[in-house]
Structure 1
Amino acid sequence: MTATLTPPGLSSTSASRRPLTLLAGLAGFSAAVTTLAGCLAIALVGWFLADGGIHGAPREALRTGGLAWLTGHGSGLHVHGVPITALPLGLTLVCAVVVWRFGLRLGEQVAGHGPDAEALSDGDRDWTVPAAVGIFSASYVIVAVVTVVLSGTSQTAPSTNAVVLWSLALTVLIGGTGVAIGSGRAAVWLSLAPQAVRGSLHAAGTILAAFVAISTVTFLVALALDLGAAMNVMSQLHLDTGDGIMFVLLTLVVVPNAVIFSGCYLLGPGFMVGTHTLVSPSVVAIGAVPMFPLLAALPDSGPTPAWVPALLALPVLCGVVGAFLSQRRNPTVAWDEGALRGLVGGALAGIGFGLLAAVSGGAVGPGRMREVGPQAGEVLWHGIVSFGMGGLVGGLIATWWIRRSMLVEDDD
């Protein structure tokens, strides 16, 4: 029986493989350096394009690239004494994808490490994944801390603690999942979990993915409707080629933030674009905003059109569709289990989006621009309720559909 739980690649020859410490340490180092090197290269190219390298020195460009990489890890920084704490989620997402890929590859490399089937049957514990993730994370954190030391100054003051915490979150949660899947252990662990738990987790992922997709479409449509204003902002900035390229990159790295803001708008609480402002389906109260192209997607101040509150149905609909599609993939004929999967999956999706909302905002400038983003607590509550209701309905509909399909097959 124990042999059936042995991960793929597990064998008695694991001792002849490369040491786990070496593999995990190298993977963590490579995952950090890959994205860091990309930021450094972009900063150097931008510095050269901006003025042909006449002003400043290459080390200043490298310092800027290092600081950019650190902001993707939650470091924040100070610009002329003004704190900038908002997280550029586009850059964080790139780092997460790289960490995932290296974690997955590390999992494949260490699949044969750990006790063999006979040792497992004797009661030995398999610490392969925890050990690999721990070393992977430590190596990544070391690179991050060294980057803080070399790139940070008393004027910019990036937060070392925040960088360490974000590095651990990326490597343990994202990288650790990759290691578990790549090594085959995740499949073993999930097989031991009840079907209802696996179904709820799958429903949560499906619902969250559906809502992020709808939020992305909403943001793109809003931006397209006022694309002329965005282009006008770009023209008024009078940027040269180098500055223009860097400004476009800066815009792209905060697009995920804008998508999450759109999701907060659809859920109802909306978001702030400065102190004492609000953008929501019921009311829009904003003043003058910085010249930034993505802000062209904001609606005009004042009462909203009568049809706009109907957008609040979209999160519920995402819950219905997500739960339905999930249960079509993992069918159940039990009414209570179908309802539970949808309800719990929707609640988990709400919690997940609430966490995304919590990290999507922050200070982006002086004065009232120190408060930009959603109220995460309200978004969390609205997400749990909207997705939970939709998931419950979707789970029941899926169960009815599956039972009906089985009856039709029996009649045939």
Structure 2
Amino acid sequence: MRPLYTAGGLAAASSAGLGLAVLMTLTVAGWVAAPHGAFGEDVGEVLRAAVQAWLVGHLVGFGIPGGDVAMLPLGLVVLPGLLLYRAGRRLARNCDLPRLRHVFRAALAVAGPYAAIAGTLALIGQTEAVRPSMLQALVAGFCLAFGAGGAGVLVQMLRDKGIAKRRLLELMPDRPRSLLVGTLSSTGTLLATGVVLFGVALAADLGDAVATTRDLAPGLVGGVLLLLIQLLYAPNAVVFGMAYAVGPGFSVGAGTIVAPTGVSVGALPTFPMLAALPDNGPAPVLSLAALAVPFAAGGLGGVLTQRSAPAVVSEAAPLWGFVCGVTTGLACAALSAAAGGPMGAERLAAVGPSSWQVGLITALEVGLAAAITAWVANWRYYRLHASEAGERAAAPGGGRAPAGGG
């Protein structure tokens, strides 16, 4: 068995190295396929571009002349996340971790070195034109390694000890468990709506997306990379669709809006998946049906919140239902902040949904519906139990047994 912190450092280094190797391969392929001016003529600049791509995969923003770039592909987080999860499982197999509470220490053992590596790479990736944020690199590297690496350690420990994953919920206190279940169900419903909206919109304008791809004429390798980039940005588009369903919508540049109240966009970059955006004018009529989804999500979240932990006092049920809406709003605000951000200077300085608007309106819509359904579900729950108790009392022998004498 290796010492915990030594094994954690090795796990962090191997995860960072493998991720960097994958992105370096893709960057070199793009350098070969594209005009060298896009990456630079020197191989060293190509390698530095790979380091910058690694940082982008951790949602580390960077500054450019005249502005910042913070709208980064959420899909790229999957690569370091999977590598860290795998490293966490290997760490649990190689170290002596007798109790589940040691998961915290194991996650720290991976996250600390990984954050140091991320900060170092942020310094290496600095150029005159591109300036990655070292502070974001440290924070993002630590958070991702702690979450994904800790999850890997926990899953491996549960498997080694023969403990079912569902028992983790049983170990949680009733109220946090109920809020977690309600929040996940409500947020998942909203994200599923975003998937449907984006998928239907792209399918309806697939011809325009194909025509844009032909106009770009990327070639075989370039076409594969273009498709990969769009797949990596697909989670961002799903969050944009979620913001549309909630109500505030999103922008694709300063002074633009795509929302149920109407669509106003100007000239757009030549990018195939942007064909999914609706035309200027009133919003598509069918898309307005999505405005009912936040209330349906709140209804589901309220019922599950009550079912996981029924409120003893009836007045408390709507309160906890509304709290479920607030936590859902916080989750959606965080997703909106991660999915959007500036894409440069001037017009592209504002792209994506407003995190505070999405969070506030989601909390109100989901919270209102969750409060009502939680109150109704809680009332029915205790009414049913009272009825069952009355039936047992009325049944023969259902009363209290007489005291026995001897």
TM-score exceeds 0.5: yes
| Structure 2 residue ranges without an equivalent (≥5) | 393-406
- Report the more deviating stretch, 159-168 or 28-37: 28-37
Contact 1:109/1:183 (8 A) holds in 2 = no
Contact between 2:324 and 2:370, CA under 8 Å: does it hold in 1?
A: yes
Change (3 A) 1:307 1:88: closer
- Does 1:33 pair with 2:17? yes
Q: Distance in 1 between matches of 2:270 and 2:383?
A: 56
Deviates more, 1:104-113 or 1:347-356: 104-113
Q: Deviations over 1:171-202 (max 9, x none)?
A: 23443455456546999997665312211111
Match of 2:130 among 153, 156, 166: 156
Q: Name the structure 2 match of 1:296.
A: 275
User: Whole-Å Cα distance in 2 between the matches of residues 337 and 18 of structure 1?
Assistant: 50
CA–CA distance in structure 2, aligned partners of residues 390 and 101 of structure 1: 40
Q: Which of 53, 66, 80 is equivalent to 1:68?
A: 53
2-side partners of 1:98 and 1:391: how far apart?
A: 37
Q: Residue 72 of structure 2: which of 87, 107, 111 is its match?
A: 87
Which residue number corresponds to residue 250 of structure 2? 271
TM-score (norm 1): 0.81
Indicate if the aligned counterparts of 1:75 and 1:85 stay in contact, CA closer than 8 A: yes
Does the 8 A contact of 2:301 with 2:324 survive in 1? no
Which structure: larger Rg?
A: 2
Match of 2:84 in 1: 99
Could you tell me how far apart the structure 2 residues matched to 1:313 and 1:26 are? 49
Whole-angstrom CA distance in 1 between matches of 2:145 and 2:290: 36
The answer to whether the 8 Å contact 2:56/2:72 transfers is yes
**Matched positions, count:** 382
How big is each residue's C-alpha offset from its partner over 1:41-99, in whole Å with a ceiling of 9 and x where there is no partner? Answer: 222233344579xx945444332222111112233345676642222111124333433
Note the aligned Cα RMSD (angstroms).
Answer: 3.3
| Kept after mapping to 1: 8 A contact 2:66/2:344 | no
- Could you list the per-position Cα deviations for residues 352-400 of structure 1 after superposition, in whole angstroms to 9, with x for gaps in the alignment? 1111111211222443012111111111101111221232234345446
Kindly tell me: are residues 107 and 354 of structure 1, through their superposed partners in 2, closer, same or farther at Cα, counting changes over 3 Å? farther
- Given that 2:58 and 2:77 are in contact with CA atoms closer than 8 Å, whether structure 1 keeps it comes out as yes
Between the aligned partners of 1:391 and 1:178, the Cα distance in structure 2 is 33
Closer/same/farther in 2, CA of residues 221 and 404 from structure 1, 3 Å limit: farther
1:231 aligns with 2:210: yes
Seen in structure 2, the aligned counterparts of structure 1 residues 322 and 298 have a Cα distance that, compared at 3 Å, is same
- The 1:60–1:341 alpha-carbon spacing in structure 2 relative to 1, beyond 3 Å, is same
Select between 308-317 and 286-295 the one with higher mean Cα deviation. 308-317
1:380 aligns with 2:359: yes
The answer on whether the counterparts of 1:78 and 1:156 sit within 8 Å (CA) in structure 2 is yes
Q: CA deviation at 1:332?
A: 3.7
| Displacement of 1:27 | 2.2
CA contact (8 A) 2:197 2:287 kept: no
SS at the partner of 1:279? strand
Please state how far the C-alpha of 1:224 moved relative to its aligned partner: 0.9
CA distance in 2, matches of 1:138, 1:194: 29
Give the counterpart letter for 1:35 in structure 2.
Answer: G
1:340-379 aligned at under 5 Å gives the runs: 340-379=319-358
Matches within 5 A, 1:307-326: 308-325=287-304
